[in-house]
Amino acid sequence: MNLIIDVGNTFVKLAVFSEGNICYKEVIEHNLLLKQVRMIKSRFKSLQKGIVSSVGRLNNEHVSEIETITPLLKLNSKTNLPFKNKYKTPKTLGVDRIALVSASVKQFPDKNVLIIDAGTCITYDFINSQNEYLGGAISPGLRTRYKSLNNLTANLPLLELEKPKGIIGASTKASIHSGVVFGVLNEIDGMIDSYKLKYPDLTVILTGGDANFLSKQLKNSIFANSNFLLEGLNYILQFNSNE
């Protein structure tokens, strides 16, 4: 059994994989990490190894203690990966993006794949059928756009995510919802269309915290998978364990 720890900007995702399948998953606040890892160890006696990926705050003391519970692979730019990384600045490539690309290699080998992760940021990552990661794009996510409109203007309110009732906003709140949500939907559909011009046989994956909200509103056909990053981390762990 494998312990998967994904430390994000806001929350920590924990998962346990057994023979490639998720048998436990939980989203927690950062300060509960050690408590939950101890609970997982007591619950899953067959836990053998783990991996940690962090784009957010990660206490080094916590990592050291987790290492006393189970052997731990710390994902970084030097980790052996199941694809050819042709990114020009590999040291700046986020570990979350590395995990997503790894998941695509596992699930869609020898395919042209675009992975879209819709969270705090929206990241686009492309790997071609020759197993070469070429890069992608980064833009603000839905909630980041709402917060930016509130923080950078004097009079616009901070709103919670909501599906617009129509393209034409008849009030300030409705206009913000229309601008943010339809702006993101059109961006994603436009990105997919642009990639398809060069790679007609493109496979598209949508994941991240806002994947469910966005998936049914997109024009393009996509595979929605909220566990894609966790599956990628598990694959990286297996890949390094089998070397």
The catalytic site residues sit at 96
Q: Is 113 among the annotated ligand-binding positions?
A: no
Q: Is 108 among the annotated ligand-binding positions?
A: no
- For β-strands 49-54 and 2-7, DSSP reports them as parallel
Query: What stretches of the chain show up as alpha helix (H) in DSSP?
Result: 33-43, 60-69, 95-107, 142-151, 172-177, 183-198, 211-215, 228-241
Q: Is 9 among the annotated ligand-binding positions?
A: yes
Q: Is 172 among the annotated ligand-binding positions?
A: yes
Q: Is 101 among the annotated ligand-binding positions?
A: no
**Structure token pair of residue 141:** 């996510």
Q: Are residues 42 and 31 in contact, defined by beta-carbon separation less than 8 angstroms?
A: no
Q: Is 27 among the annotated ligand-binding positions?
A: no
Q: Are residues 177 and 156 in contact, defined by beta-carbon separation less than 8 angstroms?
A: no
Residue found under tokens 């492309």: 126
Q: Is 96 among the annotated ligand-binding positions?
A: yes
Q: Is 7 among the annotated ligand-binding positions?
A: yes
Cα separation values, 59 from 3, 44, 56, 174, Å: 18, 24, 10, 41
Q: Is 117 among the annotated ligand-binding positions?
A: yes
Binding-site annotation: residue ranges for substrate: 87, 94-97, 172
Binding-site annotation: residue ranges: 6-13, 87, 94-97, 117, 120, 172
Binding-site annotation: residue ranges for ATP: 6-13, 120
Binding-site annotation: residue ranges for K(+): 117
